[in-house]
Amino acid sequence: MATQQRQFVKYTFLKVHPSWLAQSDQTRVSDKSDLVGTLERFSGRLMIRAYSTVGMRGDCDMLLWTVGSCLEDIQELFAAIQGSRMGRYLETPHSFLSMTKRSTYVDKHHHEGQEGTRLQVKPTGAKYLFVYPFVKTRGWYVLPKEERQAMMTAHIDVGHRYPSVKINTAYSFGLDDQEFVVAFESDSPADFLDLVMDLRETRGSEYTLRDTPIFTCILMTPGEALDMIAASPS
């Protein structure tokens, strides 16, 4: 069996400057087409998923979820985005860099494909994505391994009650400000809400230092996500 290569996982939230909305319909259509073309040119080198956050938060308009084996590919993509016609109007209020890594808390007896055993990101295509950075207290890391394992096993067992929610965990130690970035895919926001509430009752939640900001994102094509910011004329 071939060894899977670890991947870089980047969540980039973009905000369009209000001055772009004052441009003519023709200019906005041209700008959006240019940006979509830029993303398409990189689609062979990177996994790129677009999500709209319009109406979900006030500090961003869309998410680009990018995954690849080469950090320089991600850098080149965003340099190209900045150089596109829309680039001068785009701000990045939130950006989270991470990598895939095998979890030390998921043992070999769990089923294949279980979260924590994958080094390759495989989105389900669910309509909603819930993303947030995550930091544990330093006290967590000095607990005995057996104690941490017991709490994580209880945490995982709660997750199994919600098969409609798939978690993607990536690691940021030394790469970015947070320790983890977690992204939950689901077609049911209600299931995700109930899952988070149930997880608050686990003992492991005592060791959460920070798990905000939280982003609710809706899957769209890049063109659709841009149209949600400023719809194209009929």
- Tokens in use for 171? 């690691």
CA dist 118 and 102 (Å) reads 7
In three-state secondary structure terms, 138 is: helix
Q: Which domain holds residue 159?
A: 1-234
What pLDDT sits at residue 234?
A: 43
In this structure, what CATH number is given to the domain that contains residue 132? 3.30.70.1030
8 Å CB contact between 60 and 215: yes
8 Å CB contact between 91 and 17: yes
In three-state secondary structure terms, 39 is: helix
Residue 71 amino acid letter: L
Q: Are strands 47-52 and 215-220 parallel, antiparallel or unpaired?
A: antiparallel
What pLDDT sits at residue 84?
A: 97
What pLDDT sits at residue 116?
A: 52
Mean pLDDT by 10 residues, the chain (234 residues): 81 97 94 97 97 97 97 98 97 98 74 57 96 98 96 95 96 98 98 97 96 98 94 55
- Tokens in use for 137? 């207290």
Q: How many domains does the chain have?
A: 1
Q: How many CB atoms lie within 10 A of CB 112?
A: 6
